Structure 1
Amino acid sequence: MYLENVSLDAHDPRLLGRFWQGLLGAEPLTDGPDLVESRLAVPGGPVLDLCFPSVPEPVAPAPRLHVDVAGGTRQGEVVERALALGARPLDIGQGDVPWVVLADPEGNPFCVMEERPEYAGAGAVAALPLSSTDPARDAAFWAALTGWRPVPGSPLTALQHPSGLGPLLELCPEAAPKDAALKNRMHLDVRLEAGDDEDAVVARVVELGGREWEPGWGRLPWRLATDPSGNELCLLPARRP
């Protein structure tokens, strides 16, 4: 299995998808009214697809997963580019911090990060911070599903692609438990590989503290689950040869 997608619900997939393509320099894949997809590849490292499906639900406050954009020594330039593409400054009570908090055109918060040693080689996305009730437990869960490895010396419990390149998946101690009635607007998708048995994978999810998630949406071509902290994820079937 491997981490394939970062999926962000959108009211206007083209508006949101083109914003993130422009900001991150991602390669366009599909551009439909109900789904926009683009590809973010780190040479020698992971390939992640950014998916923007159309959904009617409003943007919820305090998202549990968001994007930290790499700024580094060019942080100011990245902020200016984001603003030119339609972002706006956002105050979430962050106070005096070295990163810059913005909202994308649909109000989803993201950060433009300062230079940090752990982001060397990350590419356009420095990190994907994910709220967790137990970072060590959830790191073990995501490592088992993705093959990503612990990042030594990171101030937060974090995983990264085995190449040592690409964004960090940071497990952040949460301020409040997840509201089970609210779906995360941004979530991660894991792709099964040839030979992976779907039922065995779901059983492994449960063994690691997650659960199969059945929201009553009818039959889907993939399985839905949550991690031990209640964050949703999709288990996509293996690609056909």
Structure 2
Amino acid sequence: MATRLVQINMKAREDAALGGFWARVLGWEISSEGPGVTNLEPPGFTYPDPVAVCIDLIASAEPKTVKNRVHIDLASESVAHQAETVERLLGLGATHVDIGQGDAPFTVLADPEGNEFCVLDPRPIYRDTGPIAAVVVDCADPAAQARFWGRAMDWTVHEVTEFSASLRSAQGVGPYLEFIKTPDAKTVWNRVHLDIRPYPGDNVAAEVARLTGLGATPIDLDDKISWRVLADPEGNEFCLLAPG
């Protein structure tokens, strides 16, 4: 059995408005599976496909109170393209934010609801990822996180250092999943989290047991929902969706 990262779940005060922002940022299409849910996918995309990690925006009245532990890094093709992208996103409603990045080559922005994201300087490793270069997770121990997530999913661990670790789909396409060492402690539920999905024919209960054996912790919520909520070894919540 195995899972794969299929989407990012992002809480939003106004899911349709924030979804419109991100659709324009990425050049993606908007749909909705019901009230309070806005789904974003690339044009012509057939879900699920590792060539892209989709975005689901879910309406929530809970306010954003701390820096997100999960964020998106956007790719750029050149220094000029990076600058053009930053200006375009500022025009769409993004704002500059200071998270202590100092004189970094990347630019840190926030979307209209304050969710931080980065517009990266051009890097060869991200030349074929699509607009999202990486989904980035703050952590205390990148190596331990890479061990857990490399076993939890069929994604391949690419690089592990004291300060960072990266994974990518087994097919070698789409964005990277990266873990970056940070001294910041987790204090609240993650406003942005990962959604993973087993393959068709897999058993959800067996998958929960497998993930728990790897170090995940099940979180009991409404038993009427069709997915399971767990936390990774550092307490980051994630959803295990129905097989598909």
Alignment TM-score > 0.5, same fold: yes
Aligned to 1:28: 30
Matched, 1:2 2:10: no
Matched, 1:234 2:242: no
- 2:193 corresponds, among 187, 211, 225, to 187
Partners of 2:146 and 2:160 within 8 A in 1:
no
SS of structure 2 residue aligned to 1:14: helix
**Cα shift at 1:133:** 2.5
- Which runs of 5 or more structure 2 residues have no equivalent in the other structure? none
Aligned to 2:228: 223
- Which runs of 5 or more structure 1 residues have no equivalent in the other structure? none
Aligned to 2:87: 80
Aligned partners of 2:50 and 2:222: how far apart in 1? Answer: 35
SS of structure 2 residue aligned to 1:66: strand
- 1:91 corresponds, among 98, 107, 121, to 98
Aligned partners of 2:153 and 2:212: how far apart in 1? Answer: 15
Matched, 1:127 2:134: yes
Change (3 A) 1:28 1:133: same
Aligned to 2:118: 111
Partners of 1:147 and 1:161 within 8 A in 2:
yes
Partners of 1:145 and 1:190 within 8 A in 2:
no
SS of structure 2 residue aligned to 1:151: strand
SS of structure 2 residue aligned to 1:9: strand
Partners of 2:52 and 2:130 within 8 A in 1:
no
Aligned partners of 1:31 and 1:6: how far apart in 2? Answer: 15
Aligned partners of 1:48 and 1:141: how far apart in 2? Answer: 20
TM, length-normalised to structure 1: 0.90
Aligned to 1:151: 158
Matched, 1:66 2:68: no
SS of structure 2 residue aligned to 1:30: strand
Aligned to 2:205: 199
Q: Which sits farther off after the overlay, 163-172 or 121-130? A: 163-172
TM, length-normalised to structure 2: 0.89
Percent of pairs with identical residues: 37
How many residue pairs were aligned? 235
Aligned partners of 1:223 and 1:115: how far apart in 2? Answer: 37
> Any idea what the Cα deviations from partners look like across 1:150-171, whole Å, max 9, x if unmatched?
2248883100112322211111
SS of structure 2 residue aligned to 1:92: coil
Q: Which sits farther off after the overlay, 18-27 or 141-150? A: 141-150
Aligned partners of 1:201 and 1:213: how far apart in 2? Answer: 14
